[in-house]
Amino acid sequence: MNLLRGSDFSHLLVAFVGIGALGGLLRWLHLHNPTTVALSFLLVVLFTAAASRLWVAIVTSIVAMLVINFFFLEPVRTFSIADPQNWVALFAFLAVSLVSSRLSSLARNRQREALARRDELARLFELSRDILLSTESEDAIPALARHIARRFDLDYAAVYLPTIGKFDRFEAGSAQPDCDLDPNELNGALDGREPTVIANTSAGAMVLTPLRVGTRAIGLLATIGGSLDSGTRATLASVAAIAIERAHFLEERKQAELSQRSAELKSAVLASLAHDLRTPLTAIRVAADNLRAPWLPEAQRGEQTDIVQQEVARLSRLFQNILEMSTIDSGTIAPAPQWVHPLEIIEAAQHQVEYTLRTHKLDVLDREAGEVVYVDPRLTGSALAHLLENAAHYSPPGSTITVEHAVTAEGLLLSVRDQGVGIPSADLPHLFDRYYRGAEAQKHSAGSGMGLSIARGLLAAQGGRVWAENQPVGARFSLLVPAQHRSL
């Protein structure tokens, strides 16, 4: 703490002015009684002690004593005292002045300490609130360092967490040390019971405080700057340790929830795939048995052959969905754009699901006959095939499925409109989620819920998107792929 401050000299100057003014007033009023004079000057000393630090009050007391001696005690205008009683009065004044100054200084220091404790408690409370409001475990530790630096006005704050053979550092603040601390030095501070001061950093002296949960050290808190006393630093370290344990608990709980959801999802997918596999395999086995019967008429043999082809196509489509999903998950999709006409994409998509579309009429509205676009026809065609397959599943047999295409400023726009029952409002936000099938979807058709999710993944690889909306009759699914275009 600085011994001399500008405000101290201001207070001292005001005290001198007050002593001079009071001395002049008393002499003008011809008040020379030692008791009256001493009590009057004692007021100036008390006011000075209440407003400034101890040394200012002491200097004021000495100056006031000298003024009393020189101007009011006989012989006047000398520093000698004739009456011994005046010596007693003078030293009594000095003693009272010094004691009152000391008491006033102690009271003011206690008030300052109380205010500091109050501010520290408020900062600790704000820090605790910041920690409780942090729900993301990935950013919890970096956020903790930022909150500590901000709440306690630190130039630098860092949390060091020990890992195998090293320390992970999460730092914040305006002052960044230009050197990495030696792991041995960090391990020594981690094992210590008291904070360790490192004075050789470029940003200033760094204090390393162990973060303990009980007797177990889980990390270090490094701070530069600020005015933390030992009690506040220890409390701050305890709060930071609890915050780190909370972040670890949140991460463990999140991983447990993800594992549980993954297990549930895997069970649901396996059950769905088992159902999707069992139905076509049963149909193929029955049709194959029927074809072996010598009594089966030729017309019915053709029907059984169609069933086999239909179910084989269904199985092929299912395995193709699984392969596409695994490709999306692995992130290995590499778009290969080329100049292609939108009708070529529609024809390729139609060919992929021709067995699914056999009971529907497909109406293609060609509005951009003279435009070609630069897209990946394989990915875009596969995404459109999933939309066509979805429309066929949820439209009544014999209904019309309409496909439109247009080239806009954003790229290639393809839409598929069906004549089904539409999409329930509760299903719209989750329609493209993986393996999601609404209650109405489960009533109308079997499936694994992969098709629309795969379409979204194939389009995302090209920077495109897909969405759905209800129409007065049925629903419309649209996909947009960013693309250059040109006239033929």
Measured CA to CA in angstroms, residue 123 lies from 239, 466, 471 at distances of 11, 48, 57
CA distance 70 to 93: 15
CA distance 219 to 187: 9
**At residue 406, what are phi and psi to the nearest 5 degrees?**
-155, 150
CA distance 373 to 280: 38
Residue 143 has pLDDT above 50, yes or no: yes
148: left (phi over 0), alpha (psi -120 to 50) or beta: alpha
Instruction: Quickly state the pLDDT bin for 404 (edges 50, 70, 90).
Output: very high
Instruction: Quickly state the pLDDT bin for 264 (edges 50, 70, 90).
Output: low
pLDDT in tens, 28-78: 887 777 777 777 877 877 777 777 777 777 787 778 778 877 787 777 777
Residue 394 has pLDDT above 60, yes or no: yes
Among candidate residues 349, 458, 342, the one with its CA nearest the CA of residue 401: 349
Residues 6+ apart with CB under 8 A from 131: 144, 147, 239, 242, 243, 246
Angle at 468 between CA 467 and CA 472, to 5 degrees: 150
Instruction: Quickly state the pLDDT bin for 265 (edges 50, 70, 90).
Output: low
Residue 272 has pLDDT above 60, yes or no: no
Q: Are β-strands 216-224 and 156-163 bridged in parallel, bridged antiparallel, or unpaired?
A: antiparallel
pLDDT at 84: 66
Other beta carbons within 10 Å of 175: 17
Contact 50, 109 (CB under 8 A): no
Residue-averaged pLDDT of the chain: 79
375: left (phi over 0), alpha (psi -120 to 50) or beta: beta
Two structure tokens written together for 217: 């050290």
pLDDT in tens, 12-25: 788 788 888 888 88
Q: Which of the pair, 1 or 179, is modelled with greater confidence?
A: 179
Q: Are β-strands 216-224 and 371-375 bridged in parallel, bridged antiparallel, or unpaired?
A: unpaired
Q: What is the 3-state secondary structure (H, E, C) of 200-236?
A: CCCCCCEEEEEEEECCEEEEEEEEECCCCCHHHHHHH
pLDDT at 2: 47
Q: Which of the pair, 34 or 396, is modelled with greater confidence?
A: 396
Amino acid at position 157, single letter: A
Two structure tokens written together for 197: 């001061």
Least confident range from 167-171, 285-289, 462-466: namely 285-289
Cα R_g (the chain), whole angstroms: 43
pLDDT in tens, 423-465: 888 888 888 887 676 665 555 555 566 778 888 888 888 899 9
Count of residues making up the chain: 488
Least confident range from 149-153, 330-334, 382-386: namely 330-334
Percentage of the chain exceeding pLDDT 70: 82
Order across the sheet with 166-172: list the strands: 166-172, 156-163, 216-224, 206-213, 196-198
Q: Are β-strands 400-407 and 361-366 bridged in parallel, bridged antiparallel, or unpaired?
A: parallel
Question: 3-state DSSP call for residue 260?
Answer: helix
All structural domains of the chain = 6-114 (no CATH), 134-254 (3.30.450.40), 331-487 (3.30.565.10)
Type and span of the H or E element at 469: strand 465-470
Percentage of the chain exceeding pLDDT 90: 10
**Mean per-residue pLDDT, 231-241:** 83
